[in-house]
Amino acid sequence: MFIINCPYCGERDQQEFKAGGEAHIERPKQPTELSDDEWAEYLFMRKNIKGVQFERWNHAHGCRKWFNMVRDTSNDEIKLVYKMGEKPPLE
């Protein structure tokens, strides 16, 4: 279990949060023109990184806002949290 620093509410127990998977997957701008391969890439394929990964989290039992997190998946250490819409930090 770990403590998560919600960018809106501050430090809260992980139990209040819901993980939302990989961050910065952009929805295709022209969905009708996508090939099956491109759809599969968007819908299903994931980086699933062992190491530092960008993800989305939701403060489900709190402010209910979505935000981004940079976390090391090999030891669950949280590096950084930042709000939706903000640019991901470069490493």
Partner 1 sequence: MKNKYSIFSLIKNAFSYHENWQKAWKDPQPKKEYDAVIVGGGGHGLATAYYLGKKHNMKNIAVVEKGWIGGGNTGRNTTIIRSNYLWDASAGLYDHALKIWEGLSQELNYNVMFSQRGVMNLAHNLQDVRDLKRRTHANRLNGIDAVYLNTEEVKKFCPIINTSPDIRYPVLGGTLQRRAGTARHDAVAWGYARGADEMGVDIIQNCEVKGIKRNGGSVEGIETTKGFIKTNKVGVVAAGHSSVIANMAGLRLPLESKPLQALVSEPVKPIIDTVVMSNAVHAYVSQSDKGELVIGAGTDDYVSYSQKGSHQIVEGTLNAILELYPIFSRMRMLRQWGGIVDICPDASPILSKTSIKGLYFNCGWGTGGFKATPGSGDLFAHTIANDEPHKLNAAFNLNRFISGDLVDEHGAAAVAH
Interacting residue with partner 1 among 3, 8, 46, 84 (CB under 8 A)? 46
What is the residue type of 57? Answer: W
Any idea what the Cα angle at residue 74 is, between residues 18 and 60, rounded to 5°?
5
If binding is defined by CB under 8 A, does position 19 make contact with partner 1? yes
Provide the minimum distance between the beta carbon of 39 and partner 1 in the complex, in angstroms, as a whole number: 8
Residue 40's H or E segment, with its range, is helix 36-43
Radius of gyration of the chain (CA): 15
Interacting residue with partner 1 among 53, 59, 67, 68 (CB under 8 A)? 53
If binding is defined by CB under 8 A, does position 45 make contact with partner 1? yes
Provide the minimum distance between the beta carbon of 63 and partner 1 in the complex, in angstroms, as a whole number: 19
- The sign one gets for the Cα dihedral 61, 62, 63, 68 is negative
Contact positions vs partner 1 (CB under 8 A): 1, 14-15, 18-19, 21-22, 36-37, 39-41, 43-50, 53, 55, 71, 73-76
